[in-house]
Chains A and B, each alone.
Chain A
């Protein structure tokens, strides 16, 4: 069975600095998707970035980028030039491409941004 692990319950970053959130996963599938979702205090789940396992190039969305290491089964999120609005819970998620396309979520990392 697939698992997703986020080992950092909480992280802090100074405004305008860079922070990296860690995520590891376990799977026997060769093709899958990985995601980072942001959940601000409003509770709305917002997709931050997605990575397709068969693509070696790391995904980037403006200030957000990932370091995808397929062999190590690692998928970290880097936030550059951190802003106060980045403060939220961040969840790493896995979706397989066979069967029922279920998502498996990690337990989340709470990011605090210090002014």
Chain B
């Protein structure tokens, strides 16, 4: 299993540009999450999904959009990039089953710089 994969690893955007961060998991997990991690800080939840076709906002959803058309994929869309969106973005998934203890599996992250 590849686990959780994210592309790209690095990206530089100009203010006002748009882009999509890709996230794919091959563990058949229902739950998927997008976080951002600002320098020296913890992870803040942007959006999450509890299954295909179901998404909901986290703590910091402004400026982002998501979709979940399949169990495997959970892309994050930035429509009008702003310098405040400079961050490292992590995608994660979990089965949410009690046996698994809700462990989250993380992708390697995408470092995004908006200038």
Mark A residues whose CB is within 8 Å of B. 6, 33, 35, 42-45, 47, 50, 52, 91, 95, 97, 100-103, 105-108
In the complex the two chains form, is B43's CB within 8 Å of A91's CB?
yes
Q: A105 to B103, alpha carbons, bound, how many Å?
A: 13
In the complex the two chains form, is A100's CB within 8 Å of B56's CB?
yes
In the complex the two chains form, is B88's CB within 8 Å of A102's CB?
no
The 8 Å CB contact of A102, one of B58, B101, B103, B109, is: B58
Contact residues, B2-49 vs A (CB, 8 A) = 31, 33, 35, 40-45, 48
The interface residues of chain B lying within 8 Å CB-to-CB of A108 are 40-42
Q: A105 to B58, alpha carbons, bound, how many Å?
A: 13
Q: A35 to B43, alpha carbons, bound, how many Å?
A: 14
In the complex the two chains form, is A103's CB within 8 Å of B103's CB?
no
Mark B residues whose CB is within 8 Å of A. 31, 33, 35, 40-45, 48, 50, 56, 58, 88, 90, 92, 94, 96, 98, 101-104, 106, 108-109
In the complex the two chains form, is B103's CB within 8 Å of A106's CB?
no
Q: A97 to B58, alpha carbons, bound, how many Å?
A: 17
